[in-house]
């Protein structure tokens, strides 16, 4: 059974191309356009990994991670930030919130897939 990944990004084109890359590699994908939307879409789905942007309206990536880590099913779920932000202070904030990794945009498809493979066996 294919793993389900949650993609959170306020850019429709980013959601589209990340979904395309992951679906092409055989993963199931749930897309959300911000943290709040992501929390609403999770329901009871078994999410193997979360890939989220940092700067988003309504609820940003850091707050999403904090809220997800508070949920019983997401305590150990890998959560990787996929963002244009590259400042160490922001990375540290992400790490403290509970992020498992950080990928700076623009990303290479193989780089993203390799990162996913490290977390999702």
Partner 1 sequence: MICSDKKHFALICIFLLAATAPSLISNYGTRLITAGIVVIILAVLSHRMISRFGKSALQQETVEDLPVPDSTTVPHNESVLKQLSANLQVFPVLVNQLETVIQETENAVLEIGERFMEIVSRARGQASRSANAFADFAGSSEQNGSPLIEQSKTALSAVIGNLRKVSDVARHTLVNMRNATDTMGNIRDVVLEIEYIADQTNLLALNASIEAARAGDQGRGFAVVADEVRKLSARSTTAASQIGKLIRTVESDIQGMYEETEGNAGRTEKLSRESESIINETMDSLNKSMMHAKEELDGLAKDTDSLAQDISGIVISMQFQDITRQKIEHVIEPLRTISGNHQRMSALLSGEEAASDASHQPDDMSWMENMYTMESERQIMKDTLSHSEPEIW
CB of 84 to partner 1, least distance (A): 5
* Binding footprint of partner 1, residue count (CB under 8 A): 23
**Binding residues among 25-84 for partner 1 as defined by CB under 8 A:** 54-55, 83-84
The answer to whether the beta carbons of residues 99 and 69 sit under 8 Å apart is no
Enumerate residues 6+ apart whose C-beta is below 8 A from 35: 8, 52, 56, 58, 59, 60, 61, 63, 64, 67
CB of 20 to partner 1, least distance (A): 5
Part in contact with partner 1 (CB under 8 A); list of ranges 27-35, 60-68, 69-77, 85-93:
85-93
CB of 77 to partner 1, least distance (A): 24
Say how far apart CA 117 and CA 113 lie, in whole Å.
6
Say how far apart CA 22 and CA 2 lie, in whole Å.
11
**Which residues lie near partner 1 (CB under 8 A)?**
9, 11-14, 16-17, 20-21, 24, 54-55, 83-87, 90, 105-109
């Amino acid at each position: 059974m294919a793993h389900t990944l949650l993609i959170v990004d306020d850019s429709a084109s980013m959601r589209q191309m990340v979904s395309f890359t992951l679906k092409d590699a055989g993963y199931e994908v749930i897309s959300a356009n911000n943290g709040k939307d992501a929390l609403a879409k999770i329901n009871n789905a078994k999410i193997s990994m979360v890939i989220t942007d940092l700067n988003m309206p309504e609820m940003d990536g850091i707050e999403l991670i904090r809220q997800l880590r508070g949920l019983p099913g997401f305590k150990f779920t890998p959560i990787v930030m996929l963002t244009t932000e590259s400042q160490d202070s922001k990375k540290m904030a992400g790490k403290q919130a509970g992020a498992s990794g950080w990928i700076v945009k623009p990303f290479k498809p193989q780089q993203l897939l390799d990162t996913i493979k490290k977390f999702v066996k």
